[in-house]
Amino acid sequence: MTDDRVAALKKIADEIAACTRCPLYNGTTHPVPGAGDPFAEIIFIGEGPGYYEDQQGLPFVGRSGDYLTYLLKLIDLEREQVFITNVVKHRPPNNRDPQPDEIIACKGYLDDQIALIQPAVIATLGRFSMARYFPDGKISQIHGQPKYASEPVIAYYPLFHPAAVLRNPNLRRTMEEDIHRLPEIVAEVKKRRSGSNPGSSGKPASSKDDDLPMQQLKLF
């Protein structure tokens, strides 16, 4: 199973490398499909690769990446134990925001990565990945508030983007408090999954969808 999952993620990475669905592939050095553990319990989804990511073909390797590595260490995790990716897989020109059509063009790749890895928690970094799961949310209002889904059992967890924290040091304490909640959210998802009906699609035997308030709510 390990080899199958690695091979499947490699196939997605190869498809991204050959992708011409949007203009972002023009003028970039490397695609940045994602990196980390194919069996990760947590997937972090950022916005788009920057200059250093484009040079190396790896996500979050600049100052934002250094800070993300630091945040992971706060909860005794290494980068190799999670999976890190972005909503777009090529660098937008001059590090501009990804456009809606570009996000849509990459959506299938991200969907496939998530389906293969089957994480307990999807932690969004910044507003563009947050909008995928919280379309009407504002990061300043909903950060650090997990939303639980039942089919499959998973938690979506909105976080500030590390770059935003570096630009605004006043957010640092908030970000680190939010990160410290991740282990308990993973544990809650595991608890809910263990209570699922055998052979079901993952819906807990005795719960409704989202019946809790929102606040409970180097591979390639």
Q: What is the pLDDT of residues 95-147, one digit of tens each?
A: 999 999 999 999 999 999 999 999 999 999 999 999 999 999 999 999 999 99
d(CA 22, CA 16): 11
The mean pLDDT value of the chain amounts to 90
- Rounded Cα distance between 92 and 98, Å, is 6
The domain locations on the chain are 2-193
The one-character DSSP state at 204 is B
**Does the 2-193 domain belong in CATH 3.40.470.10?**
yes
pLDDT greater than 60 at residue 79? yes
Phi, psi values for residue 28, rounded to 5°: -95, 160
Q: Which residues are within 8 A (CB) of 71 and not within 5 positions of it... i.e. 6 or more apart? A: 162, 175, 176, 179
- Write the DSSP symbol of residue 156: E
**Global pTM value:** 0.88
Give me Rg for the CA atoms of the chain: 17
